[in-house]
């Protein structure tokens, strides 16, 4: 089987913090209440402004902003302006794989095990994320992420991606927030779970859980052994395992001799014949 080809060379730039890539605060706030509540708030403000000022002064700005956004969409649609939503999109088929310590991917996809942790939280309070105790949950969560990133090699922590749920039909409370974490091994995840940062959050929860019956938390853990996981992305901005960075040996030297540590991404070309089918990406058709 042909060697897997990385799309990007190794870099000396260490992985960035996922805290800067979390769900934006304004997105969380907008999803915290029913859409009709926001429309009613906007209508009330518009009515108040119309009452206080001449109609033209309150009507024209809204029309101009709407017109600007409409023109902006048309310019992007016809290629007359760059589309920021395409920033970072890799315009081809690719897969996420795990390199060895030399930064090589070899010829066998899915050759290592991967551990996936799903961690979720939700506020069922009428105030949603503004409810008592929920900010504390977020603070402990951020402390845990900082610990993961500071000790990523010790824990075998790879990367994470966050999502907002879309399964609350009532929309009368904040939507659930879930983060998907990737680890090299169950042992590394277990070590993190017993580290001070996670223990602090867990101890706080056990002490105060009766005070916050409206707060929900959950986790699920899965270990996918070698040959039991695969990934494919087409015209996609890297997400999930595709955002992982792995420490690799510096080319032509020893780190102790002044060479900077290098990091290799997980992205490999999946447009080749050896990665086109699911059984290829699972490594099932590799002999030997």
Q: Mean pLDDT, to the nearest integer, of 93-120? A: 95
CA atoms of 241 and 60, how far apart (whole Å) = 47
What integer pLDDT is reported at residue 226 of this predicted model? 96
138-147 pLDDT, tens digit per residue, is: 999 999 999 9
54-100 pLDDT, tens digit per residue, is: 877 788 888 999 999 999 999 999 999 999 999 999 999 999 999 99
What integer pLDDT is reported at residue 1 of this predicted model? 64
Does 260 score more than 70 pLDDT? no
What integer pLDDT is reported at residue 271 of this predicted model? 92
Handedness of CA 57, 60, 66, 70 (dihedral sign): negative
Exposure string of 25-56, with b = 16+ CB inside 10 Å and e = fewer, is eeebeebbbeeeeeeeeeeeeeeebeeeeeee
Specify the DSSP class assigned to residue 101.
T
147-158 pLDDT, tens digit per residue, is: 999 999 999 999
2-36 pLDDT, tens digit per residue, is: 899 999 999 999 898 887 666 777 777 777 887 78
Please, which pLDDT band fits residue 284 given cuts at 50, 70 and 90?
Answer: confident
How crowded is the C-beta side of 3, counted as CA atoms within 13 Å? 8
156-201 pLDDT, tens digit per residue, is: 999 999 998 877 666 555 678 899 999 999 999 999 999 999 999 9
pTM above 0.95, yes or no: no
Percent of the chain with pLDDT over 90: 64
What integer pLDDT is reported at residue 154 of this predicted model? 96
User: Which helix or strand (DSSP H or E) is residue 273 part of?
Assistant: none
Percent of the chain with pLDDT over 70: 91
Domains and CATH numbers, the chain: 88-281 (3.30.70.100)
Give the mean pLDDT of the chain.
Answer: 89
What integer pLDDT is reported at residue 288 of this predicted model? 42
What integer pLDDT is reported at residue 111 of this predicted model? 95
Other CB atoms within 10 A of residue 57 CB: 11
Does 287 score more than 90 pLDDT? no
Does 259 score more than 60 pLDDT? no
- Lowest-confidence pick of 25-34, 86-95, 110-119, 220-229: 25-34
Q: Mean pLDDT, to the nearest integer, of 125-131? A: 89
What integer pLDDT is reported at residue 172 of this predicted model? 53
Do residues 112 and 244 make contact, with C-beta atoms less than 8 angstroms apart?
Answer: no
């Amino acid at each position: 089987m042909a060697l897997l080809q990385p799309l990007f060379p190794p870099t000396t730039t260490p992985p960035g913090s996922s805290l800067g890539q979390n769900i934006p605060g304004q997105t969380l706030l907008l999803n915290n209440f029913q859409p009709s509540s926001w429309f009613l708030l906007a209508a009330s403000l518009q009515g108040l402004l119309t009452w206080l000022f001449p109609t033209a002064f309150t009507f024209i700005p809204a029309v101009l902003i709407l017109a600007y956004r409409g023109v902006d969409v048309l310019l992007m649609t016809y290629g007359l302006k760059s589309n920021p939503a395409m920033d970072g999109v890799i315009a081809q088929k690719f897969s996420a794989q795990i390199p060895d310590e030399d930064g090589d991917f070899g010829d066998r996809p899915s050759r290592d095990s991967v551990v996936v942790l799903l961690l979720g939280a939700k506020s069922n309070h009428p105030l949603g994320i503004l409810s008592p105790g929920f900010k504390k949950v977020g603070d402990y969560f951020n402390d845990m992420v900082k610990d993961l990133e500071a000790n990523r090699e010790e824990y075998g922590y790879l990367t994470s991606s966050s999502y907002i749920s879309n399964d609350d039909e009532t929309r009368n409370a904040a939507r659930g927030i879930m983060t998907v974490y990737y680890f090299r091994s169950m042992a590394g995840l277990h070590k993190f779970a017993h580290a001070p940062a996670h223990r602090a959050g867990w101890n706080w929860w056990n002490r105060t859980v009766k005070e916050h019956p409206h707060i929900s938390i959950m986790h699920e853990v899965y270990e996918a052994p070698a040959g039991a996981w695969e990934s494919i992305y087409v015209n996609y901005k890297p997400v999930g395992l595709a955002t992982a960075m792995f420490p690799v040996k510096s080319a032509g030297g020893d780190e102790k001799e002044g060479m900077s540590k290098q990091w290799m991404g997980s992205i490999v070309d999946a447009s080749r014949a050896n990665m086109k089918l699911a059984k290829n990406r699972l490594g099932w058709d590799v002999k030997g």
